[in-house]
Amino acid sequence: MADAALSNKWLMRVVFALLCLLLVFAQLLPLETTPRRWAGPEFMVVLALAWAVRQPDYTPPLLIAGVFLLADFLLLRPPGLAAAIMVFACEVQRIRAQRLRDATFATEWLTAAAIMLAITLGYRLIGTIFLLPLPSLGLMLMQTIMNIAIYPGVVFLSHLLFGVRRATAHDPLGAN
């Protein structure tokens, strides 16, 4: 039984990594040749936060750091900035997972929304301090609003397609 749970945990870690790689690949595709005037959601951020609060064992810090560092390199973002911020944000979600497993979905959603807003403001603040080229504040806030809006859909699809559900009070945290 313990071997099955351990192999399931590693399988889901691989699934998470593959989903993140697929999302990075989709962002690299040249689907539009003109600059957009709106910002779509950052699916990797939403996926990482949703899985970190629902099944913390599926998103260890080294995996989060690795996939976001790779995304930083491939998407030509400042190397390590998004990775460091996401490791911190997912650890905050992991710490809150114990308290949120008995809470309503609205509470989980509000917590994720607050963390997504903190991610945006932290990225903006650090980028400003180090004089990094940043998109406009309006685009960053639009992306944050889009992230918050799609969070329920990502949670639903994660539950439906991959069985990533919130651990109950009777289950050990991280058991699926």
pLDDT of residue 93: 94
94-139 pLDDT, tens per residue? 999 888 888 899 999 999 999 999 999 999 999 999 999 999 999 9
State residue 162's pLDDT score.
96
Gyration radius (Cα) of the chain, Å: 16
Q: What is the pLDDT of residue 170?
A: 61
Is the model more confident about 99 or about 62?
62
Tokens of 150: 């799609």
Q: What is the pTM of this model?
A: 0.92
* Nearby residues of 112 by Cβ (< 8 Å), 6 or more positions away: 46, 49, 50, 53, 93, 148, 151
Residue 3: the pLDDT is 75
Residue-level pLDDT at 108: 95
Q: Please name the residues in contact with 96: beta carbons below 8 A apart, sequence gap of 6 or more.
A: 53, 111
Least confident of 3-7, 64-68, 96-100: 3-7
Categorize the per-residue pLDDT at 176 as very low, low, confident or very high, splitting at 50, 70 and 90. Answer: very low
Split at pLDDT 50, 70, 90, the class of 166 is confident
- At 32, the pLDDT band (50, 70, 90 cuts) reads confident
Task: Note the pLDDT of residue 37.
Answer: 79
Amino acid in position 136: S
DSSP state of 41: -
User: Where is average pLDDT lowest: 27-31, 64-68, 120-124, 165-169?
Assistant: 165-169
Nearest of 13, 65, 67, 10 to residue 43 by alpha carbon:
67
pLDDT at position 171 is 62
